[in-house]
Structure 1
Amino acid sequence: MLQRFLSLIQAGEFQSLLEIARQMNVSVDMVRRMAGEMADRGYLEEIRLECDAVQPGCAGCPIQGKCQPAGRQWVLTEKGRAAVSGMQG
């Protein structure tokens, strides 16, 4: 289940914990716990999105153009990307 969670995060198609929970057919609380566990293990990092007019576009952002202007998002760390690549290979 944790491997699937990491794969969904890497795919970048799901913008909220609710959407990931629906895709995985689990509760939002379960997804929160998985995210916390994966962050504690160094596979994920949380980014807080605070985009505003001062920042010119999405240049340099790890989730360019896929965010909602405010809120929290999770992205894979280098360790997380390596783990997902290992699952696919």
Structure 2
Amino acid sequence: MSSIICCADADPQEDKLANLPQVRYPIAALRDGKEGSATATAIYDKDGFFVKLVSASSVPKRIFERVMGTYMTQFVLCPKEKEHPFTFTAEFKIGKNTGE
């Protein structure tokens, strides 16, 4: 499930997410009982669509980076200016992201 925000209602002084999909918990991490956090930075064009992933990091290393990279491609952003980076951080807790 995702949340939709109308870009026409967005404050022109700040970025706003037009589409915020649900973060998927990595199956391997869930199977191994791993929890952690991940941060990713991506560049979006002036229309708010994904251009490229700049960086992704996670604690523990590498476990949540791939899912964050995929997640960043699903955002639609209402940008306050032309092409620029946007950073998002997600916490992965068993039960919180998994529906348990």
TM-score, structure 1 normalization: 0.28
Larger Rg: 2
Task: Point out the structure with the larger strand share.
Answer: 2
Task: Point out the structure with the larger helix share.
Answer: 1
